[in-house]
Amino acid sequence: MLREPLPDPDAIHPLPELPRVVFLQPLLASLGEAAPANVEVGAFSYYDDPVHGRDFFGRNLLYNISGETRLRIGKFCAFATGASFMFPDANHALAGPSTYPFGILGGAFAELLPLSDYLWKPGADTVVGHDVWIGMEALVMPGVRIGHGAVVGARSVVTRDVPDYAVVAGNPARVVRRRYPEAEAARLVALGWWDWPVERIARAVPALVKGSVAELEQFARDEGLTPA
């Protein structure tokens, strides 16, 4: 039996004494009709910013104009100050000699070739898995998938997919190490602890933070979640 109350996933500021920490799911809901319709966020994912914590969806989603692609963020993600996501509307056409977006200026510049006829594709959705940590001022480019349990180093530029439980850093970001070997990472993904009831996650915190994969699997068996 847990003696302390569980964190409230619907609280924008889960730590009232630390307003720089903002839960993104309730923040998105609070925006109402102003919320970007092409963004979804899982429970307990937070953004940490001493000045602009509540401005994440306005300041940190770059060039989210047309809404043609989605940003999907999983549960229990942690984003440091300035972590940002680039959307495909930032792209320029590369088919001809010039990359300049003449059509955006309208008038004679758009008369023979409106901006809608420029040859570029919106691309795939950007996906951030569960339990992902993105460091300060990192930039995630459009169409990237960041795997579950991954870590993105500060000021990295993520231009390609990141494997589950990998640590990436640099510009462009590259895998610098694996948090777990591929086989163990697959076992963690199979457990899917982020989808457990929050009461069970609270009981699992010691195993999640200090335990091994085997110990977390044993906790799951003790909870009747996996075959013995």
If you search the block for the tokens 């300049």, which residue do you land on? 100
124 secondary structure, DSSP code? P
**Cβ-based burial of 81 (10 A; exposed 0-12, middle 13-18, buried ≥19):** middle
Q: Which two tokens stand for residue 129?
A: 């898995």
92 catalytically annotated: yes
Task: List the catalytic residue out of 52, 92, 130, 148.
Answer: 92
Structure-block tokens of residue 7? 């964190």
**Helices 213-222 and 182-191 meet at what angle, rounded to 10?**
20
Give the dihedral sign, CA 225/46/24/71.
negative
Active site residues: 92
